[in-house]
Amino acid sequence: MHRRRLLATGIWALTAPLQLSLASGQTAAASGLQEAYATGDGVRLYFVRSGEGPLMLFLHGHPDSSSLYGPQLEEFSRDHLVVAPNLRGYPPSDAPDNVEAYAMPRLLGDLHALLDHLGRERCILIANDWGGYVAWVFASAYPGRVDRLIILNAPHPWIFLREVRGNAAQIEASQYERAFHTAAPPYPRWYNYYRADPIKVPASIAESAAAATPDLATHFFANVERPPVATSLRLSVPTLVIWGLRDATMLPGLLDGLEGYVQELTVLRIDDAGHYPMRSHTALVNDAIRNFMRH
């Protein structure tokens, strides 16, 4: 989830979907990835794939695309089936206008549909940013579909809520999110992820004290097609969290207390990495993922 700095808007914001669409196709062609489509929860999803073996499913955040994981797709396609979709809102995947089309139940439905399309019951789920936000929820609610979870700089929803209610530094670091709620149309469709999210960043701790605590379970699982095994957002799935400590908007406090939500937790902190440790520290991250999958 793009819980990081607000990138340039204006003309870029209006043309970004086209740029992302072109970049996805060019990247896929250059790397030998196969391009395909699946029917998600009411939308068509574009994805790239390569290799054979156990499924590794990679989810990007905002404002990225499946091309985010190029080095990982190349590495792990040697002995796995690697798949990376463009999330809804990112052409050539469908990009609905309706805010509610980006609510968590629809995003969970997309993951179920993609796994079903691939003929796989389970996957190794790897995710960054908003993709990680969805992955935390999916793995907690549907542990039968996730063998292992690998998170790269994406906070657990309950911990993020805690930090933007009680940590002044995290509130300040997350102020960019407020712009997504106040932007006048036309704005990039991925802003709707934030508009549909029950967690809203306050202007200050004083403002947060007066805000009601959202019922995350109700928001995340209302009208889902597949009933969740659990709605507590606690995980039984073995989980590796890789965190770049120089991420300017996802502060290290988002790791505090994570062991209270994850039964089998491994955390790798990278002191000199930022929001994209899989790009800045490719070999280190790939090795950590391989070691985690072996145990």
Share of the chain above pLDDT 70, in %: 89
Would you say residue 140 has pLDDT above 90? yes
pLDDT tens digits for range 183-193: 999 999 999 99
User: Could you check whether the bond before residue 92 is cis, i.e. omega within 30 degrees of 0?
Assistant: yes
Handedness of CA 267, 264, 77, 42 (dihedral sign): negative
121 exposed, middle or buried (CB, 10 Å; 0-12, 13-18, 19+)? exposed
Domains for the chain: give ranges and CATH numbers.
11-294 (3.40.50.1820)
Helical segments of 147-273, H only: 157-166, 168-173, 176-182, 191-196, 205-209, 216-221
215 exposed, middle or buried (CB, 10 Å; 0-12, 13-18, 19+)? exposed
Handedness of CA 68, 262, 143, 163 (dihedral sign): negative
pLDDT tens digits for range 53-96: 999 999 999 999 999 999 999 999 999 999 999 999 999 999 99
Q: Give the residue-averaged pLDDT of 152-178.
A: 97
26: left (phi over 0), alpha (psi -120 to 50) or beta: alpha
Give the predicted TM-score (pTM) of the model: 0.91
Handedness of CA 183, 219, 165, 172 (dihedral sign): negative
